[in-house]
Amino acid sequence: MMGTTFAHYQLLNRIGGGNTGVVYEAYDIKNDRKLALKILQNNFLLTKEKKARFLRELQAARILEHPALARIYEADEFEGAYYLAMEYVEGQEYSDIIQHHPEGIPLDLFYKLMLPVIEGIAFAHEKNLAHRDIKPDNLKLDRKGHPKVLDFGLVKFLDKTDGGHDDSFQTMAGMVIGSAGYMSPEQASGEPLDKRTDIFSLGIVMYELLSGKNPFHASNAFATISKILTATPISLELLRPDLPMELCQIVIKCLNKDMVARYPSSRALYEAIQEAREKATE
């Protein structure tokens, strides 16, 4: 497929892919720019209503203009396939950073990496949009050292018409949609979602950055989901005795299986981390 044209984009290199679609480095012929183009699988959208809603949700992500969020340039349909044209971010994925710090990253680097990300997600939540696929592969430190949240290809508009119910995304070819190791319990079990689903995923990323370990790691996706639904993570204090107690408690609160017991918003999470940081320097 490399070198071919899709809509007004020339596909250059495949740079990623998963259950929901494939991401390409692409050239925007119309606007003369390089970008990331995600071509989404949509065989799980069985009705016209779900297809229309899905496209509205993708297009809604274009309102997200924040320094920590990769820009969404266009969301549309071409020859029956939905696509998302996004800012192309060169840099280091958080998954690579984790790999290079098997015992966890330094505390100052943690604040540098996560506070802008959480603030960006808070901005999206305040626009009533949830990401739903937060994971280290979707977070990057760009060439200028700025954190960026990528890939709003699973974006969900949080309105009151369906209570956040996620029926159009529960399964594709028998699999739960999303990245198994970073799902919330409600996402893994197909229950109604809200912004606190992203808070759980942020909790997993923070835990992994600080300890070098995913708290729900298992041998396969189904075992991982089982742990997300039933297992209690090892206390961060045991893995990193040097960390401030307040920060460890914040991360574990994000990982509560009951969404009501998590932070009510990512803005509240951001403020809690800032407060813990200030307290640790007193």
Domains and CATH numbers, the chain: 5-87 (3.30.200.20), 91-280 (1.10.510.10)
β partners of residue 93: 140
Higher pLDDT, 179 or 276: 276
Q: Please state which of the ranges 44-53, 95-104, 219-228 shows the lowest mean pLDDT.
A: 44-53
Active-site residue (options: 28, 133, 166, 198): 133
Q: What is the pTM of this model?
A: 0.89
Is 70 exceeded by the pLDDT of residue 74? yes
Averaged pLDDT score across all residues of the chain: 88
Give the integer Cα–Cα distance in Å for 20 and 108: 34
Residue with the bigger pLDDT between 50 and 193: it is 193
pLDDT recorded at residue 165: 45
Lowest mean pLDDT among 22-26, 78-82, 198-202: 78-82
| Residue range 156-168: mean pLDDT, rounded | 49
Q: Which residues contact 12 (CB under 8 A, 6 or more apart)?
A: 2, 3, 24, 25, 26, 27, 34
- Rounded CA-CA distance 223/229 in Å is 10
Average pLDDT over residues 40-55: 70
The neighbouring-strand residues paired with 148 are 140
pLDDT at 22 over 80: yes
Predicted local distance difference test score (pLDDT) of residue 163: 44
> 246: part of which helix (H) or strand (E)?
helix 245-254
| pLDDT for 57 beyond 90 | no
Q: 167 catalytic, yes or no? A: no
Q: Which amino acid is at 87?
A: E
Instruction: Examine the pLDDT at 53 and tell me if it is beyond 90.
Output: no
Split at pLDDT 50, 70, 90, the class of 59 is confident
Q: Does the pLDDT value for residue 175 go beyond 70?
A: no
Residues 172 and 101: their CA atoms lie apart, in Å, by 34
What pLDDT shows up at residue 43?
A: 59
Band of pLDDT at residue 147, cut at 50, 70 and 90: very high
Q: What sign has the CA pseudo-torsion 22, 67, 76, 13?
A: negative
Q: Distance between CA 279 and CA 282 in Å, rounded?
A: 5
What is residue 51's predicted lDDT score, i.e. its pLDDT? Answer: 72
- Residue the block writes with tokens 């998302």: 84
Q: Quick one: pLDDT at residue 17?
A: 77
Percent of the chain with pLDDT over 90: 68
Q: Going by C-beta distance under 8 Å and a sequence separation of 6 or more, which residues neighbour residue 99?
A: none
Query: Can you give the pLDDT at residue 281?
Result: 84
Q: Determine the pLDDT at residue 275.
A: 97
Q: How confident is the model at residue 2 (pLDDT cuts 50, 70, 90)?
A: low
Average pLDDT over residues 31-49: 80
Residues making up the annotated binding site for ATP are 38
Please name which of 50, 37, 133 lies closest in space to residue 88, comparing C-alpha atoms.
Answer: 37
Q: Which residue numbers belong to the known binding site?
A: 38
Residue 84: count other Cβ atoms within 10 Å of its Cβ: 25
Least confident of 16-20, 79-83, 111-115, 236-240: 16-20
Which residue, among 57, 61, 63, 62, has the nearest Cα to 45 in the 3D structure? 57
172 pLDDT above the threshold of 60: no
Q: What is the pLDDT of residue 164?
A: 45
| Residue 251, CA atoms < 13 Å, CB-side half-sphere | 26
